[in-house]
Amino acid sequence: MARSHLFLLASIGLTTATDLSTLPALLKNISADIFPDLKGISQDIYAHPETSLQEFHAHDTVVDYFTTTKPGLWDVKPHVYNLPTAFQLDFVHKPAGYTGSEDEIPVVGIMAEYDALIGIGHACGHNHILLNGLAAASMARQALIALDIPGRIRILGTPDEENTGGKGLLRDAGAFDEVDMWMMAHPTSANAVQPMGARVDAQANFVGDTHADAVRTAYEALVLITDLGTTLPSGTTATPVEDVGMFAINVVSQKILLGIAGLSLQDVNATVGALLDSTYIGVNYTVAEDDEVEKGIAVTMEGPGGHASEGTKSPLRLSIETFRNLTNSGKQGISFFLPGNITATELDITISVRPRYTMDLDSLLKNVTSTITSKAKSITTDRPYPALEVLSTPGDRFINLMHDADHDSQTNWNFSTIAPAATDAGFVQDAVLDPSTKQVLSTFKAVFHPNFGICEPVAGAPCGFNHEPEFEQTAGTEYSYGRTEIVARALAQIAVELLDDKAFMREATKLVRK
Ligand SMILES: *[C@@H]1O[C@H](CO)[C@@H](O)[C@H](O)[C@H]1NC(C)=O
Ligand SMILES: *[C@@H]1O[C@H](CO)[C@@H](O)[C@H](O)[C@H]1NC(C)=O
Ligand SMILES: *[C@@H]1O[C@H](CO)[C@@H](O)[C@H](O)[C@H]1NC(C)=O
Ligand SMILES: *[C@@H]1O[C@H](CO)[C@@H](O)[C@H](O)[C@H]1NC(C)=O
Ligand SMILES: *[C@@H]1O[C@H](CO)[C@@H](O)[C@H](O)[C@H]1NC(C)=O
Ligand SMILES: *[C@@H]1O[C@H](CO)[C@@H](O)[C@H](O)[C@H]1NC(C)=O
Ligand SMILES: *[C@@H]1O[C@H](CO)[C@@H](O)[C@H](O)[C@H]1NC(C)=O
């Protein structure tokens, strides 16, 4: 028996019903058999990115595979809960002679996402969340049969994580009601069992009599938001994440264009050059004459960062600081324009408002909107995403598994308190916290959601942060698929243990509101 499993048994002081000592080896064998097909599905979804509730190819590919290619393994339900691209797969194993009712058989739910980002494909790696979900559930399913353990598994295909909060829509439709324990895993640039912040997107609209007026007003608002951001508590951000004028939620701008009229190329170059210090990691810029505007200079700023959760300074930040510097310089006759779009008099900016805790959403949003309300013509907000809190069970079990040799001895796995982004899995957990201690008092459902690194640790391997175009390349590497296989096997192991061990399941779901 693996030492980590003995540790678990000792720590909860109870024995399991079944000898699970062969489970890690069994899961490896099962994985060798089933993973290649499922990886093929993931690669297909990666090659056909679909956004926001339009994931028909992904939905149909999964449904077809389990109805036509591999029929009979799962009870396949397409288009569930009034969402055309949601699906549900159910499985139950009843040992021979089992006479109890099916409802008494323990159940674990696995969530699978498959939506992409507007314009930049699978730059959040949801092709891996689908693969992880299908693989973990399929491995656990076969293990239950092999070890003759009674158990039920449900896979829920959850549309549109990014924009409308697909899991919120599913929750409203009752999709999570029957299962207390839900799991998934999200690819990113580093390994951690960590919380996710709350989120609401404020979309602000700026109008001017002229193009230059509109740009100036929008940039004045960007300066105010930037300054507000520096006053926020740790783990909380309010960051403009879009290119000015663009309106695509959740796409990180790696290339920002700012036009400056009324200054020489040399002066513009010197201004931007002096601002670009070592706090802008990987950011560069070029300056060029812009023929659209007399004496216009186009500055192109490029680089990583700009994600709401990253502490690094982005190309957009350089653009904002350039505007601030020139506006405060006292030089007369300077105006600003958007190269390639010098006629637009209405500009939109999305501000990703992300407090660490759900309870601070309203207050932070109010602070953001009141900061720019005199500049904006209108400000609208989307559906707020609740934060996702970390519970030690089954997180501690997962970390132990990742440390062992069966899971590539990944000693860099641990709990972290950093909330790197938001997730709509917060709708499923819906945690209620003590306002002062921030202890989790209760949840709607138990949700386990580790974030796993898929960047190959070798020089030159693509390693973006989620939502940057480079992460789309990361999510297509052979290495990334290998990481997902390991995580899926660990989740399958935990699923079987939860189904087999009532005390473990009770501990993992103890805060679920009855
Ligand atoms: C895994 O497969 C190998 C090779 O077929 C076999 O020897 C071994 O017994 C299997 N292990 C389990 C736990 O099924
Ligand atoms: C120009 O700006 C408008 C208004 O923001 C936007 O809808 C349009 O897509 C922009 N065009 C280009 C080429 O960027
Ligand atoms: C801008 O300034 C940098 C030095 O800071 C110089 O290397 C570069 O050639 C300049 N660009 C132009 C277009 O003058
Ligand atoms: C500038 O940054 C972009 C984005 O990171 C990168 O693709 C490009 O190669 C860089 N250009 C230079 C000249 O370093
Ligand atoms: C503009 O930036 C330069 C270089 O960082 C700085 O020395 C100067 O004080 C700034 N000017 C204003 C008005 O902010
Ligand atoms: C909003 O601003 C008020 C006043 O500055 C401050 O007390 C409060 O903590 C802010 N809210 C958040 C969530 O930062
Ligand atoms: C993991 O986290 C725990 C608790 O925060 C800490 O005690 C431990 O030292 C950490 N281990 C590693 C390897 O970082």
**H or E stretch covering 75:** strand 75-77
Closest ligand to the CA of 20: 1
Can you tell me which atom of ligand 2 is nearest the CA of 340?
Answer: 13
Among 379, 378, 376, CA closest to 217 = 376
Is there a contact between 189 and 412 (Cβ–Cβ < 8 Å)? no
- The pLDDT of residue 15 is 44
The mean pLDDT of 311-330, rounded to a whole number, is 91
In whole angstroms, what is the distance from residue 452 CA to residue 407 CA? 13
Using one digit for the tens of pLDDT, what is the confidence trace for 168-222? 999 999 999 999 999 999 999 999 999 999 999 999 999 999 999 999 999 999 9
Is there a contact between 109 and 181 (Cβ–Cβ < 8 Å)? yes
The mean pLDDT of 326-353, rounded to a whole number, is 92
Asked whether residue 247 carries a pLDDT value surpassing 80, the answer given is no
In whole angstroms, what is the distance from residue 430 CA to residue 361 CA? 14
| Confidence band of 512 (pLDDT split at 50, 70, 90) | very high
For residues 67-81, one letter each, b for 16 or more C-beta atoms within 10 angstroms of the residue's C-beta and e for the rest, the string is eeeeeeebebbbebb
Pairing of the two strands 432-433 and 237-240: unpaired
Biggest CA pair distance of the chain: 88
| Confidence band of 501 (pLDDT split at 50, 70, 90) | very high
Closest ligand to the CA of 194: 7
**In the chain, where does the domain assigned CATH 3.40.630.10 lie?**
22-196+387-508
Measured in degrees and rounded to the nearest 5, phi and psi for residue 256 equal -120, 135
Ligand 5 pocket check for 274: Cβ under 6 Å: yes
| Ligand 2 atom 14 nearest Cα | 341
Pairing of the two strands 181-183 and 107-113: parallel
- The pLDDT of residue 251 is 58
Among 274, 289, 399, 397, CA closest to 329 = 274
Instruction: Lowest mean pLDDT of 11-25, 83-97, 109-123, 218-232, name the range.
Output: 11-25
4-7 contacts, C-beta under 8 A, 24 or more apart: 4/397, 4/400, 4/401, 4/403, 4/404, 5/497, 7/400
Place of tokens 């796995």: 413
CA 372 to chain centre: 27
pTM of the model: 0.89
Is there a contact between 407 and 27 (Cβ–Cβ < 8 Å)? no
Start-to-end CA span in the chain (Å): 35
In whole angstroms, what is the distance from residue 474 CA to residue 462 CA? 5
Using one digit for the tens of pLDDT, what is the confidence trace for 71-106? 999 999 999 999 999 999 999 999 999 988 999 999
Ligand 5 pocket check for 370: Cβ under 6 Å: no
In whole angstroms, what is the distance from residue 45 CA to residue 116 CA? 9
Closest ligand to the CA of 300: 4
In whole angstroms, what is the distance from residue 3 CA to residue 401 CA? 10
Pick the CATH number of 22-196+387-508 from 3.40.630.10, 3.30.360.10, 3.40.640.10, 3.20.20.150: 3.40.630.10
Closest ligand to the CA of 234: 6
Amino acid of residue 78: P
Query: Beta-carbon neighbour count of residue 437 at 10 Å?
Result: 8
- The pLDDT of residue 506 is 98
Structure tokens at 439: 């202890």
Amino acid of residue 120: I
The mean pLDDT of 32-47, rounded to a whole number, is 98
Place of tokens 């699906």: 87
CA 459 to chain centre: 25
| Confidence band of 307 (pLDDT split at 50, 70, 90) | low
| Confidence band of 234 (pLDDT split at 50, 70, 90) | confident
Measured in degrees and rounded to the nearest 5, phi and psi for residue 124 equal -120, 5
Ligand 2 pocket check for 341: Cβ under 6 Å: yes
- The pLDDT of residue 475 is 98
Amino acid of residue 20: L
Ligand 3 pocket check for 287: Cβ under 6 Å: yes
| Ligand 1 atom 13 nearest Cα | 26
CA 429 / ligand 6 centre spacing (Å): 26
- Three-class SS state of 41: helix
Using one digit for the tens of pLDDT, what is the confidence trace for 456-497? 999 999 998 888 888 999 999 999 999 999 999 999 999 999
Using one digit for the tens of pLDDT, what is the confidence trace for 404-461? 999 999 999 999 999 988 999 999 999 999 999 999 999 999 999 999 999 999 999 9
The set of residues, in sequence order, having a beta carbon less than 8 Å from that of 46 and lying 6+ positions away, is: 121, 122, 127, 475, 476
CA 31 / ligand 1 centre spacing (Å): 12
Ligand 5 pocket check for 270: Cβ under 6 Å: no
CA 346 / ligand 2 centre spacing (Å): 9
CA 188 / ligand 7 centre spacing (Å): 20
Measured in degrees and rounded to the nearest 5, phi and psi for residue 393 equal -110, 130
| Ligand 1 atom 2 nearest Cα | 29
Ligand 5 pocket check for 330: Cβ under 6 Å: no
The set of residues, in sequence order, having a beta carbon less than 8 Å from that of 126 and lying 6+ positions away, is: 113, 114, 115, 116, 161
Ligand 7 pocket check for 415: Cβ under 6 Å: yes
Is there a contact between 492 and 108 (Cβ–Cβ < 8 Å)? no
CA 335 / ligand 4 centre spacing (Å): 27
Can you tell me which atom of ligand 4 is nearest the CA of 286?
Answer: 13
Whole-number mean pLDDT of the chain?
Answer: 92
Three-state SS for 377-427 is CEEEECCCECCECCCHHHHHHHHHHHHCHHHCCCCCCCECCCCCCECCCHH
* Angle of helix 211-229 versus helix 361-372 axis, rounded to 10: 140
Instruction: Lowest mean pLDDT of 101-105, 229-233, 363-367, 374-378, name the range.
Output: 229-233
- 202 forms beta bridges with 351, 381
Ligand 2 pocket check for 339: Cβ under 6 Å: no
Asked whether residue 249 carries a pLDDT value surpassing 90, the answer given is no
- The pLDDT of residue 242 is 58
Number of H helices, E strands in the chain: 14, 18
Asked whether residue 312 carries a pLDDT value surpassing 80, the answer given is no
The set of residues, in sequence order, having a beta carbon less than 8 Å from that of 212 and lying 6+ positions away, is: 261, 335, 336, 337
CA 246 / ligand 2 centre spacing (Å): 7
Instruction: Lowest mean pLDDT of 141-150, 152-161, 293-302, name the range.
Output: 293-302
Closest ligand to the CA of 119: 2
- The pLDDT of residue 244 is 57
Ligand 3 pocket check for 273: Cβ under 6 Å: yes
